Amino acid sequence: MANGVRIPTATEITQLLAEWNEWLAARTDSLLSLEERVRSAGTAADQADLAAAFVCRKAITDRLDDVGGLARRDRGAAAARAAQPLHDDLGALVGRDLSEAATLLDAVVQRVERSVAGHEQQQVAEARVVAQAGTDLAVAERLSAELGMQVNHVAQLQLALSRRER
């Protein structure tokens, strides 16, 4: 143990870093996919939250790179570094450790995902209404033309009748 942190074996730290990197790759894919969706269906708050998620992801990536580099030389220092607070490039706290930063990133991604999904559903519903309105207007246009012809026919019949009565 070093500073109250158990020193993992080389195999353990390699496996742990592989798990973290796999988790990070999945979150990166989610963020990139979500970024595209936020552009088309997100709010300003969604955009700000997504930007914060990218900052959090960068802090996690930097820490994992740091821990990976330390692990090759000093597994104890790597384990201690993994347990230290994470900060963004401006010095703001991102999490008390990797786990807390990961929890924050997951929570922000889930919140933005829910928000964007709601806006996407609203856009689909609005598109359906607009499409139906277009269909209804086409029918109304056809019927109004038919009605116009019938109105003209009735007018002609009235004219013919009035001429006959004279």
What average pLDDT does range 94-113 have in this prediction? 97
**Residue 35, in any domain of the structure:** yes
In the chain, the N- to C-terminal Cα span, in Å, equals 119
**Residue 79, in any domain of the structure:** yes
**Residue 149, in any domain of the structure:** no
**Residue 124, in any domain of the structure:** no
**Residue 140, in any domain of the structure:** no
80: nearest Cα among 9, 8, 16, 14: 8
pTM: 0.74
**Residue 99, in any domain of the structure:** yes
Separation of alpha carbons 92 and 58, rounded Å: 13
How large a percentage of the chain has pLDDT more than 70? 96
Per residue in 60-87, pLDDT (tens digit) is 999 999 999 999 999 999 999 999 999 9
